[in-house]
Amino acid sequence: MKTSTVFKSRWMALLWAAGFIWFAYDVAGSAPQGDENATNAEAATDATGQPITGDDAKRLSQALNSF
């Protein structure tokens, strides 16, 4: 459906918008939910798999500020 023909009619524009919102809701609703996301966010690791410490974060901050 061409977007130039959609907005010639108010009702077609409303149907198009409803379909777009439905698509967005369907895509966003299909994301996995649960406790896995919370535990992964709390246990941040570096490239080697080791947990990131406060000292690591401080060194990174200092390196970024030196630029």
Q: What pLDDT, in 10s, does the model give residues 9-63?
A: 888 889 989 999 999 988 887 666 665 555 555 678 888 888 888 898 899 899 9
The reported pLDDT for the residue numbered 3 is: 66
The residue that leads in pLDDT, 2 or 8, is: 8
The reported pLDDT for the residue numbered 23 is: 92
The reported pLDDT for the residue numbered 17 is: 92
The reported pLDDT for the residue numbered 35 is: 56
pTM over 0.85, yes/no = no
Tokens of 54: 């406060």
> Quick one: residue 50, left, alpha or beta (phi over 0 = left, psi -120 to 50 = alpha)?
beta
Return the closest-CA partner of residue 16 out of 24, 7, 28, 25: 7
57 with 46: CB under 8 angstroms? Answer: no
Distance CA 26, CA 13 (A): 20
